[in-house]
Amino acid sequence: MTTPARSGVFDTVTDRRVEEFTESVSFDRRLYAHDIRGSIAHAEMLATVGILTAAEAGLISQSLREIGDRITAGKFVFENSLEDIHMHIEQALIDQIGDVGRKLHTGRSRNDQVSTATRLWIRDALARLDQGIADLQLAFVGRCDHDAGVILPAYTHLQRAQPVLASHYWLAYCEKFQRDRDRLTDCQRRVNTCSLGSAAVAGTSIPIDREDVARRLEFNSLSRNSLDVSSDRDFVLETAFVLTMVAEHLSNWAEEWILWSTVEFDYLALPHQFCTGSSIMPQKINPDVLELIRGKTGRVVGNLQSLLVLVKGLPLAYNRDLQEDKPALFDSFDTVESCLQLAVPIVAGAELKRGSIETGLERGYLDATTLMEYLIQHGVPMRSAHHAVGQLVNKARQRNVPLGQLGLSDFQECHADLDESVFEVLGVERAIQSFSSYGSTAPAQVERQIADWKRRLASDMEAAIAVENR
């Protein structure tokens, strides 16, 4: 590859140390396919408006594809002197076809070129991420049938609260990850804006057709202000935030399952192929993958913070600081994708320890709230019912028995008109049957939600296949 000599306003070549300090090709080379796609669209547009001939645009496009093939095959030489992937590709094009290659950059700048390639890369990466989250949702929904009828203690403040169906628990994670997917979709809308043709900062006097380029690259809209485009990295920060939320939800789930897999909880057996042993203690089955998912979330959060600090003091328009957005962006995508790839088989392969769970279900007075609501429905004011059930729980604790083993006389001390029907809401299974509100753990409600999730995810899968086959 030919390295361009210093020319124009510069009277000396760049110091080697500056080349090493300012290069970004070591990390932005992963944009090569998207840069080439944008350049081909730009060349075809230049031919459409008469700046290039059809033959010149065809030669440029074919040469760019050949350069892309060489990069893919690992046969392309990268040099720090050419700074970034965009300059590498342009110089390789010039080396290959001469002056025709020098015409490609007409009507654009590296500023809008970089923005466009980054947007195209993020757009593809968001689609992959969405599919990865959908796969995780499918794994949780698959557990619903596998764990049908299993009751778990739900916790608040990490203290036992009320009984819930295991399926209700799994669908709670589907809801969290669906919000992440919704954020991805919303983020995609702002990412999917064409920057190309805004040029360096003020636009261009060349009669280009930006709408033509946007159509070729399947962008939904055009950027409307050339000054804004040069400085805008909102779409990168928003993407990083969405990735952070996905990582946070994965970390929440990992933390819970780490606890559940302990001897103290004894709720869950993790698949051994996703655990590790101890170098000294032969009995250990450590949840290292879950711990690393939890730990790697810190990197994703840190990347978001780095990006926020990066842009906080930048004036309009482009500043070289923005080169530093890509390491954080790429690392967050890589980290979250790797976590998702491991989360799916862990969710699918884990087993609830039903015997251990059932043995301890009556501990913690999970039916206390249901008893309180029973009293309310029998005319006891809510605060009075709350106080009365608290006294009953205290009495049961003193006797070391569940609420269902108190005598009828104990309940009648709270409300004289109570009869044997009070026992119909006591015990976790009866408590589960007492729920009725929309979105609750009531069996009928949960069954409807499972069916709804199956339909939604099946529809999403069909839509994804249709997009791939377009």
Positions marked catalytic: 157, 278
Tell me how far CA of residue 96 lies from CA of 29, 60, 311, in angstroms.
19, 10, 38
| CB neighbours of residue 258 within 10 Å | 19
Q: Which helix (H) or strand (E) holds 161?
A: strand 159-165
CB 393 within 8 A of CB 414: no
CB 4 within 8 A of CB 14: no
Q: Is 423 exposed, middle or buried (0-12, 13-18, 19+ CB in 10 A)?
A: middle
* Integer Cα distance of 323 and 23 in angstroms: 9
* Integer Cα distance of 14 and 441 in angstroms: 67
Peptide bond into 161 cis (omega under 30): no
144-150 long-range Cβ contacts below 8 angstroms, 24+ apart: 144/170, 144/171, 144/446, 144/450, 144/453, 145/450, 147/352, 150/352, 150/354, 150/357
